[in-house]
């Protein structure tokens, strides 16, 4: 197969043997791919370590193999976020982890790629990185096909007063249906309105939302439960995310 020129985000790096690395990239055209980059950790290598660091956005040439790891070559650094806020770096790497966890190898999704690209850039200028993270999470859930439904009851499909949230159904349920559902969580109209606003609002405008961090943490928790229910992961990946909403920044 002829070589393929591609650009993508480095989601994960694993040092391989003495001088090579295995990279997991998320690209627009090829989706999530893995490949080995040989010899870049040599002392006399002309390739900057930043080029194959997690979080870098790079150009490279991919040689697909029928068996074994794909081969990557000629990496070129296009961008690496130089965030002023330390929390923005943490959020960016948490987001890369989410992409790696929930995008399958060779799965392409231009919507998620564009969302990641936009998020990386907005984190450079935002004063509310925690809100951008929340916006990313809600929109990611939608692109993954897990919800979140906010307008009508997910159980009876009627426009009634919303009282609960069901991770299983991926959205809100009314008071009557909530009595029949075991695994549902009580929510306020304000929380539901916030989720609805985030869903329909461009990511760059989400920081205009005036909410408390406690509300953001609650919505993020609901989102995590929704993802958890619809995936086969058997561990809690979000245990450190609470720090995003409890810091003073």
Q: Which CATH number belongs to the domain containing residue 53 in this structure?
A: 2.40.50.140
Q: C-alpha angle 209/9/139, rounded to 5°?
A: 30
Q: What is the β-pairing status of strands 70-79 and 31-37?
A: parallel
CA 234, distance to chain mean position in Å, is 18
Q: List, as own/partner pairs, every contact residues 161-164 make where C-beta atoms lie below 8 angstroms and the sequence separation is at least 24, other chains included.
A: 162/187, 162/189, 162/192, 163/187
At 248 the pLDDT is 63
Q: Look over the chain and give the mean of its residue pLDDT values, rounded to a whole number.
A: 93
Low-confidence ranges of the chain (pLDDT < 70): 1, 248-249
At 74 the three-state DSSP class reads strand
- What is residue 243's predicted lDDT score, i.e. its pLDDT? 86
Residue from 69, 66, 65, 78 nearest 28 by CA: 78
Note the pLDDT of residue 68: 81
Q: What is the DSSP letter of 89?
A: H
Q: What is the pLDDT of residue 175?
A: 92
Residues 15 and 125 in one domain: no
Considering the entire predicted model, what is its pTM?
A: 0.94
Is there a single domain that holds both residue 54 and residue 95? no
pLDDT tens-digit map of 121-156: 999 999 999 999 999 999 999 999 998 999 999 999
* Number of domains the chain contains: 2
pLDDT at 232: 84
CATH number of the domain within which 187 lies: 1.20.1440.120
pLDDT for 122 equals 96
Structural tokens at position 51? 């080029």
Same domain, 144 and 72: no
CB contact set of 40 (below 8 Å; sequence gap of 6+): 19, 20, 21, 47, 49, 51, 52, 75
Which residue range(s) make up the domain with 143?
A: 86-246
- Residue 157, Ramachandran bin (φ over 0: left; ψ between -120 and 50: alpha; else beta): left
Q: Are residues 102 and 60 in the same domain?
A: no
Question: What confidence score (pLDDT) does residue 174 get?
Answer: 94
- 201 lies in the same domain as 93: yes
Closest CA to 166 of 240, 101, 152, 197: 152
Which of these, 69, 85, 98, lies nearest to 9 by C-alpha position?
A: 98
Give the single-character DSSP code of 68.
S
The C-alpha R_g of the chain, in whole angstroms, comes to: 20
Residue 249: its pLDDT value, please? 60
Question: Last residue of a domain, which of 79, 112, 130?
Answer: 79
Residues 6 or more apart whose Cβ sits within 8 Å of residue 125: none
In a shared domain, residues 106 and 220: yes
SS (H, E, C) 93-134: HHHHHHHHHHCCECCCCHHHHHHHHHHHHHCCCCCCHHHHHH
């Amino acid at each position: 197969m002829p070589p393929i020129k591609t650009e993508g985000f480095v989601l994960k790096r694993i040092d391989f043997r003495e001088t090579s690395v295995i990279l997991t990239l998320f690209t627009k055209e090829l989706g999530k791919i893995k490949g080995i980059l040989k010899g870049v950790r040599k002392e006399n290598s002309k390739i900057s370590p930043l080029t194959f660091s997690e979080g870098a956005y790079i150009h490279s040439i991919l040689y697909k193999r029928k068996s074994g790891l794909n081969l990557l070559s000629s990496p070129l650094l296009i961008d690496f976020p130089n965030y002023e806020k330390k929390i923005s770096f943490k959020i960016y790497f948490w987001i890369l982890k989410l992409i790696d966890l929930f995008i399958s190898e060779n799965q392409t999704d231009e919507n998620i790629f564009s969302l990641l690209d936009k998020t990386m850039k907005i984190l450079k200028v935002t004063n509310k990185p925690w809100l951008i993270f929340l916006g990313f999470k809600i929109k990611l859930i939608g692109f993954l096909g897990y919800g979140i439904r906010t307008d009508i009851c997910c159980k009876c499909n009627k426009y009634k007063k919303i009282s609960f949230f069901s991770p299983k159904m991926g959205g809100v349920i009314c008071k009557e249906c909530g009595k029949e559902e075991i695994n549902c969580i009580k929510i306020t109209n304000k929380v539901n309105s916030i989720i609805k606003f985030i869903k329909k609002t461009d990511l760059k405008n989400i920081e205009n939302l005036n909410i408390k961090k406690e509300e953001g943490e609650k919505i993020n928790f609901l989102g995590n439960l929704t993802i958890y229910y619809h995936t086969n992961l058997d561990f809690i990946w979000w245990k450190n995310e609470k720090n995003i909403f409890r810091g003073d920044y």
